[in-house]
Structure 1
Amino acid sequence: MSKKLINILYVEDDENLSMVVSDFLEMQGYHIHLCVDGEEALKVFDTEHFDLCLLDIMLPKMDGYTLAEHIRNINEHIPIFFLSAKSQEEDRIKGFMKGGDDYLTKPFSTEELSLRIQAVLRRVLANQTKKKKASLPKNVKLGELRFNTQNMSISDGNKEVRLTRKENELLKLLLISKNVILKRDEALLEVWGEISHFNSRSMDVYITKLRKILKMDPNVSITNYHGTGFKIEILKD
């Protein structure tokens, strides 16, 4: 996978349904890895990184319940959604007992699925970033600049610029992801609360504003990785 987007493992043997769901989610900005049976999905999951799993239950070779158990043994925290025609209460209960975080019965709305995915990812990312943000000191050195995370300001010793809340949150995310690319989708979920074309364009505007502010030190910059995300670069730190 060349683009570091939210990576979803989707396991479905219905070709028509899988095409509709995959196309819709890819239009929302997700990267979808489609598997048609449980055994193939487990092999793929064991070798690649995924942020979320969408599992049918009645699958060839290995059913979704068994697959979910294996996935949980490998990764305790990854969100698992069951998408199934099995609509009885005992089926849904079994899904949650096998480690599922959500359960949608077929037929389902792709729009509802997208919103549920965003809600779960928002909680997961919030828990991850909360711990990382807590490790950021009040005053962060950025080359010759000083970033006050609490007062939401950047200073070069002579001039101080106040940041908006979104600028402040974006800069903190860039700093806790300092050595890796900050994924666009993660930033959107964390700062804007949802992934959408409008919010994506809005984020680009805020990144541009941050770049202008950081020009107070020419050694500090934000690099855009097209279609992937952003990384803060500090030549002298």
Structure 2
Amino acid sequence: MVDNLSSFSTPQPPRTKGQRTAARILDVAEEMFAHQGFAGTSLRQIADGAGIREPGLYNHFAGKQELYDAVLRRALSPITTAINLRLDGASGLPDYTDLPSLVSDLLIERPQRAALLQQALAGGHPGLATHYQGWLESVFQRGVEGINELGLGREIDRHTLVLNLLAILSLVTGYVQSAGQFRLLGCGEIDDPENVARHKLLLRRIIRAMLIS
């Protein structure tokens, strides 16, 4: 599993009632956006799930768009932190082939976030996932830097790099989303250590193939 990041954070003071309510709203919204999508989820449903009246939700978020952005930001933040810690803390040349495995660990711990990212990856109306698009671009740029550091002796065009990035993201989120199929086909749970190891081995093989092709 992913390295414990708690040691890198400072102790936080107890949350206020308002902060606890906002966190509960985010938890409910994350689950609903992940499985129902943005358009299929109403603020009334989120408020009911959080145990508050709908007008009370506006004390914390200006509307559904702002709430969705906050949910997405919260889901992506630990992924960004883990990637940066792994790359910046590496001695010598970082192992970029290990990054998808790192993301897999985080998503296996919070499976609904894999569904949330798949929803964002599928797209929506313009501006729906602005934060996700910005995050995706930053990951892409970090990948370009990594390829340059590897010194492959050739340039890889942007379209190929984007295709590779989206393919890896789909593999990672798709694995986490396939829990039902794993059980149906008699392969156990996706978080079984042997299944996780097979998944990570496949990811590394695919990334290495991308780098040498």
TM-score by length of 1: 0.30
Bigger proportion of residues as helix: 2
Structure with the larger RCO, 1 or 2 (CA within 8 Å, 6+ apart) = 2
